[in-house]
Amino acid sequence: MSTSETPVRVGVVGLGHWGPNLARNFAAISGCELAWLCDGSEEVRQRWAPTFPGARMSADIQQLLDDPQLDAVILATPVPTHATLAVTVLRAGKHCFVEKPLAQTVVDAQRAIDAAEDAGKLLMVGHLLEYHPAVVSLKQIVASGELGTPYYLYGNRLNLGVLRSDENALWSLGAHDVSVVLALLDEEPVECFARGESYVRPGVEDVVFCYMRFASGAAAHLHLSWLDPHKERRLTIVGSRRMATFDDMALEGKVTVYDKGFDEDVRSWGEYLARSGDIRSPQIANTEPLRLECEHFVDCIRTGTAPRSDGRSGLRVVRVLEALQLSLHAAAPTGPRP
Ligand SMILES: NC(=O)c1ccc[n+]([C@@H]2O[C@H](COP(=O)([O-])OP(=O)(O)OC[C@H]3O[C@@H](n4cnc5c(N)ncnc54)[C@H](O)[C@@H]3O)[C@@H](O)[C@H]2O)c1
């Protein structure tokens, strides 16, 4: 168990595409020790051992769980393993950081939450964008009322790759946008609708279009694809007074607020005039979101506070993804009449 003098000791499980980024960040945080690395593949372990000479390497997560000095386990394994591994980690009395999404079903997400509560340990989900300084800024802008009432949002998360076989574009890419939409609107949708197509691998959607409606009247649309010529990571939010964008590919002006909209013409009843006023881009700290996310987890362990993206917030995202997934495979809507 760590105190303010002893380091928080963590182990990273899963060293594929993403796990090494988590390992790099936890290893660099002052007051945190990357004590273990774990991957089932011998080749992967050999690849990463030289980069992290201070960490012990294992093929079996049980070795990490048996270490009484280890405070927390970071799971960067494939999505189908998340819930079961998180429950195992928490039942072993370790705090758990699990990559997004928390689980593939609401039932499994709840299992992980229950395990955290029973063990009295922290459960944090790696909803990276909630730690992105641009999203934090956008959330402050929305909460301040500067945009007025949020009308609708749309997100484009497009790229060529990574092509996955164990999850579709909805779960792989949409987990990011759903977490941001829920964080910005601070409410869950009452209607979810999705359509998608599998072109490369049968049964695994490469492109998914999602539509969500909220009780407040807000609506959100997501275009998610790993089969696209463009690399886009963009979100637009249109409010009753102003509009704003978050463009994660932009080097400058990641967040832009547009004083645009329609004003009622006071001289004539029922007429509206387009308003195109100032455009401003707040300064956004150039700090790696992943570093902020990892630091937050270590801080939460030290202070015993609930993480921003805790199990309950991860469950909200899974609830929406599950509803979108069900809709994706529901009966097809009818086409135009001949
Ligand atoms: N936050 C982000 O921006 C972001 C980006 C990419 C991936 N991810 C998430 O990271 C997770 C991993 O994705 P990836 O692309 O690195 O996957 P990957 O398939 O490249 O790597 C997974 C690794 O886990 C290992 N593994 C699987 N089961 C294991 C077990 N029981 N014990 C030990 N090792 C095990 C595999 O050998 C493999 O090396 C996913 O949940 C994904 O959604 C997040």
Q: Does the pLDDT value for residue 3 go beyond 70?
A: no
On the 0-12 / 13-18 / 19+ scale of CB atoms within 10 A, 123 is buried
- Mean pLDDT to the nearest integer, 42-63: 98
Instruction: For the chain, give every domain's residue range.
Output: 8-126+289-309, 130-288+321-331
- Mean pLDDT to the nearest integer, 217-235: 98
CA 89 remoteness from chain centre: 21
Q: How far is the CA of 196 from the centre of ligand 1 (A)?
A: 24
**Cβ of residue 65 lying under 6 Å from some atom of ligand 1:** no
Q: Do the bridges between strand 123-126 and strand 189-197 make them parallel or antiparallel, or are there none, so unpaired? A: unpaired
Q: How far is the CA of 19 from the centre of ligand 1 (A)?
A: 6
**pLDDT, position 4:** 60
Q: How far is the CA of 171 from the centre of ligand 1 (A)?
A: 14
Q: How confident is the model at residue 127 (pLDDT cuts 50, 70, 90)?
A: very high
**Cβ of residue 48 lying under 6 Å from some atom of ligand 1:** no
Q: How confident is the model at residue 162 (pLDDT cuts 50, 70, 90)?
A: confident
Q: Residue with the nearest Cα to atom 24 of ligand 1?
A: 14
Q: Residue with the nearest Cα to atom 31 of ligand 1?
A: 40
pLDDT in tens, 256-290: 999 999 988 778 777 889 999 999 999 999 999 99
Instruction: Please calculate the CA angle 29-184-139 and round it to the nearest 5 degrees.
Output: 60
- Domain 130-288+321-331 bears CATH identifier 1.10.3720.10: no
Q: Residue with the nearest Cα to atom 11 of ligand 1?
A: 76
Domains 8-126+289-309 and 130-288+321-331 are alike in CATH topology = no
Q: 């197509």: which residue's tokens?
A: 197
Cα first-last separation, the chain = 70
According to CATH, the superfamily of the domain at 8-126+289-309 is NAD(P)-binding Rossmann-like Domain (3.40.50.720)
Query: What's the pTM?
Result: 0.95
- Mean pLDDT to the nearest integer, 158-187: 95
Q: Does the pLDDT value for residue 153 go beyond 90?
A: yes
Sign of the alpha-carbon torsion through 28, 33, 35, 38: negative
In terms of Cα–Cα distance, which of 289, 214, 307 is closest to 246? 289
pLDDT in tens, 57-78: 999 999 999 999 999 999 999 9
Q: Does the pLDDT value for residue 2 go beyond 60?
A: no
**Cβ of residue 110 lying under 6 Å from some atom of ligand 1:** no
Q: Does the pLDDT value for residue 95 go beyond 80?
A: yes
- Mean pLDDT to the nearest integer, 15-21: 97
